[in-house]
Amino acid sequence: MNPTTIAATAGSPTHPSSLFPQITRCKTMRELHQVHALFLKTGQIHDPLAAAEILKFCSLSAHRDIGYARKVFRQMSEPNCFSWNTAIRALTESDENDETNEPLEALLLFIEMLTDGTVLPNRFTFPSVFKACARTGKLLEGEQVHGLAVKFGFEKDEFVASNLVRMYVMCGAMEKAQFLLNKMMVEFENDGKLVNDKRRIEGNIVLWNVMIDGYIRIGDLTAARELFDKMSQRSVISWNVMISGYAQNGYFMEAIEMFRLMQMGKVRPNYVTLVSVLSAISRIGALELGKWVHLYAERNDIVIDDVLGSALIDMYAKCGSIEKAVQVFNRISKPNTITWSAIIGGLAIHGRAKDALDYFSRMEREGVTPSGVVYIGILTACSHAGLVEEGRLFFNHIVDEVDFEPRLEHYGCMVDLLGRAGLLKEAEEFILNMPIKPDDVTWKALLGACKMHGNIEMGDRVAQILMNMAPRDSGAYVALSNIYAASRDWESVARVRLKMNEMNVRKDPGCSWIELDGIVHQFLVEDDSHPRAKEIHSMLLEIAEQMRLVGYKPDTSQVLLNIDDEEEKESTLYYHSERIAIAFGLISTNPGTPLRIVKNLRVCDDCHSWIKLISKIYKREIIVRDRRRFHHFENGLCSCKDYW
């Protein structure tokens, strides 16, 4: 806006309409300040419509300035309902990262509106107030505002009612939200408006999506799925909410199955769908499905930006195809911190510490500021490669030279680094000297190292700390039980298991996945539920004979059960979940085909030796991702060099 134009306009008649168009032409707050000054100078600011329009610009436009909006609102002698609503809405919709708690101020302004009594709230007032209650978690206040909406006659107003449902969902009051939703559906059906009103149908889909998301937020996936299945019509967002909900809550197979149902229903996945399903794919190692998603994005011109690119890098890395992850990274023109984090983290879990450090140096040369996640990736790389001194130097570098304040995750990486290397005393002292209180993950890293190196005394001490911190977490009990079992202290094992029973603590069962022809097969320990179970069993017997011929003898010390019979111990080892998955892979693929396995727990020492021999006898590359890292087995060797 040209200042000369403004000056010329200032000399024109002072009819309210003469300056009014200037407000809508403003492109910045600076221009609005100029127009506002003219309104004050000419007296037109007393026109309620003009004042309201100025308030609207500084409250809700892309150039919003809440501080200035407050001043404009307070200068109004008699704000009308539109102005009250604008001010309340502006405060409600403030930046979620803003620490000034403006949604709470919105509630106080609503109370002031009621107290003032000059104007009454209308159907546009309540949605903003409900949102303010939701953002501040004020359920009690939300219920009181609900009562006011009923009092003023807006209970059956669709706009008000739908926002009321949202408020209850966001506050976790799902029973009330469900009751209101059911009531709305009955009223719409009675009015006969659901069938023909496209706008209303779309609005109801949005509301149902909010309800589904609400159930997911409180962890009730069953209720979310039931509601999803009841929907007569669904949008792509409906599918996305369910897929991401399953993935975020650890139901990875269900997330992928939902994605397949979406395809069968001829619903086109969008950008959000791909990011959500890739997170599930990466967790169970479904490489072929991940490749399909990547190809779909390229064929449908979906932009592979930093977020989707990082999801693809993470997927390829966690599915065992680190070279493909590197290719995706190299095709991103200007990688940011997120994409650098993904590739460095991927290289780390594959034990490629040198490459991870090289990428970090390249990142610094290109002027990208590392994030805390990048630092975790480098420390993890050092830990997996046994680079203790390099890890120490790097940690000291980020603390002393970069002036970065490490979080619990970084301290946990250092404990893991020291613990894996057998420096248990140093690791314990490191924890005790941390400037922040260690969490259970930090202590678990030390307990895992105690198990690895057979330190019973320290293991017992650390386990007791963990049991006090998280009494119902099975990790500490299982690790301590295994430490005792490895030393054949069966009395102590029995004592720990008795305590687990008393606390109703359940151990996570060993589980492995293998993907063949786009289908993910899941196996548990001693699993005989697969349709080809008999063939798998026969293959395991064949493998046992082949192993015997090359002189393999099972390491029965890995059997952490009080069993005297040596043959029974050997049999127990043979039915670990990863062995069943590998046997299935051998009978289901052509000779020479690589096998990719994902396991939810650490691979035991005997299974590690067993897989090395399998790779040599059957001339297969076998890639296994366990809880700790990737193992690339080939010709009798493992990429981890027996350090994991």
Domain boundary at 12, 43, 58, which? 58
Same domain for 520 and 613:
yes
Domain boundary at 13, 42, 58, which? 58
Q: What is d(CA 316, CA 323) in angstroms, rounded to the nearest whole number?
A: 8
Q: What is d(CA 631, CA 313) in angstroms, rounded to the nearest whole number?
A: 18
The answer as to whether 262 is a domain residue is no
pTM for the whole thing? 0.77
Same domain for 522 and 469:
no
Q: What is d(CA 130, CA 103) in angstroms, rounded to the nearest whole number?
A: 10
Same domain for 597 and 517:
yes
Q: Residues of the chain whose pLDDT is less than 70?
A: 1-20, 44, 96-100, 188-203, 554-573, 644
Q: What is d(CA 176, CA 354) in angstroms, rounded to the nearest whole number?
A: 56
E strands present in 517-629: 519-524, 595-599, 622-625
Q: Edge to edge, what strands does the sheet with 630-634 contain?
A: 519-524, 511-516, 595-599, 622-625, 630-634, 637-638
Same domain for 619 and 575:
yes
Token representation of residue 391? 């890890």
Same domain for 581 and 633:
yes
Q: What is the pLDDT of residues 219-266, one digit of tens each?
A: 999 999 999 999 988 999 999 999 999 999 999 999 999 999 999 999
Same domain for 530 and 471:
no
Domain boundary at 483, 507, 531, which? 507
Same domain for 567 and 618:
yes
The answer as to whether 418 is a domain residue is no
The answer as to whether 110 is a domain residue is no
The answer as to whether 643 is a domain residue is no
Residue of 623, 606, 626 whose CA lies nearest to 615: 623
pLDDT the model gives residue 191: 61
Token representation of residue 485? 């079992």
Same domain for 579 and 482:
no
Q: What are the CA-CA distances from residue 373 to residues 346, 360, 438 (Å)?
A: 12, 12, 18
Residue of 625, 609, 615 whose CA lies nearest to 573: 609
The answer as to whether 238 is a domain residue is no
**Other Cβ atoms closer than 10 A to 555:** 17
Q: What is the pLDDT of residues 469-488, one digit of tens each?
A: 988 888 888 888 888 887 88
- Name the packing angle between helices 29-42 and 48-60 (round to 10°): 160
Domain that holds residue 33: 1-58
Q: In the chain, how many domains are there?
A: 3
